[in-house]
Amino acid sequence: MKYPILYSFKRCPYAMRARMAIQLAGIKCELREVRLNNKPDQMLEVSPKGTVPVLVLGDKVIDESNDIINWVLNDHKIFEVNLSDEQSNLTNNLIKLFDEKFKFHLDRYKYATRYENSDVELHRSKCLEMLVNLEKIVHDGNWIFGENINKLDISILPFIRQFRIADPTWFDSQEDIKKLQNVLNNFLESNLFKDIMYVYDVWKKDSEPVFFPITN
């Protein structure tokens, strides 16, 4: 049997969200861990834009993380609770916000040296402003909408994790995002997060296939 091939990079938040969807669905893939500063030709041949994740399904290639999540959701019910129409619309709007505006400011805060004249304090404050607004809709519980993980969690928590990594002490001291801090901590302690962060060797053309998700 030929399995889908997933090109991934462990720390990339886009790749993380795709791996979480695949993990939750239990879809077996051949995983090819890559380094973004040395992308394999095989990945570039199927996806010339050179970003991860890339999912190869025979002749079909999906190289956007949100499209991979939607591909999973088409055939698998990976979330226990259905969202209301209002929550679904909010989810889509927030994912778009984080993919565009939050990521823009996050990069210029966390990786300021890559950008000329980047105002670190400004970009950090813009990220925090979005998190404070997000805090308003966070429910009591382990995840954003309560006790059950959903699409919004797997889509944006990897980016909030990156934001915290830039300065954990500062992030943890912010009083206006306490519920969100609890959600993030639950995410980082979850078996889902630990499973998708398993350390794979970098894939090479002559490597033996390795598979994801890990099964015991």
Domain of 186, CATH number, reads 1.20.1050.10
For residues 148 and 79, the answer to whether their CB atoms sit within 8 Å is yes
Range of the domain at 174: 85-193
Specify whether 100 is located in the same domain as 158: yes
Which SS3 state, helix, strand or coil, does residue 77 take?
A: coil
Q: What's this model's pTM, rounded to 2 decimal places?
A: 0.95
Q: In a structure prediction context, what are the per-residue pLDDT tens digits for the chain, which is 216 residues long?
A: 689 999 999 999 999 999 999 999 999 999 999 999 999 999 999 999 999 999 999 999 999 999 999 999 999 999 988 889 999 999 999 999 999 999 999 999 999 999 999 999 999 999 999 999 999 999 999 999 999 999 999 999 999 999 999 999 999 999 999 999 999 999 999 999 999 999 999 999 999 999 999 765
Structure tokens that stand for 210 in this block? 């390795």
Specify whether 132 is located in the same domain as 185: yes
Residue 137: HSE in the Cβ half-sphere, 13 Å Cα cutoff = 14
Specify whether 21 is located in the same domain as 67: yes
For residues 174 and 92, the answer to whether their CB atoms sit within 8 Å is no
Instruction: Please give the pLDDT value at position 179.
Output: 98
Specify whether 69 is located in the same domain as 89: no
Specify whether 45 is located in the same domain as 126: no
Taking Cα atoms as reference points, which of 210, 133, 149, 208 lies closest to residue 184? 149
How far apart are alpha carbons 162 and 63 in whole angstroms? 22
164 to 18, 44, 97, 193: CA distances (angstroms): 21, 32, 18, 16
Per-residue 3-state assignment (H helix, E strand, C coil) for 6-36: EEECCCCHHHHHHHHHHHHHCCCEEEEECEC
Specify whether 89 is located in the same domain as 189: yes
Specify whether 113 is located in the same domain as 162: yes
Specify whether 93 is located in the same domain as 166: yes
Instruction: Please give the pLDDT value at position 215.
Output: 65
Specify whether 130 is located in the same domain as 157: yes
Specify whether 34 is located in the same domain as 112: no
Specify whether 158 is located in the same domain as 118: yes
Specify whether 96 is located in the same domain as 71: no
Domain of 67, CATH number, reads 3.40.30.10
Total domains in the chain come to 2
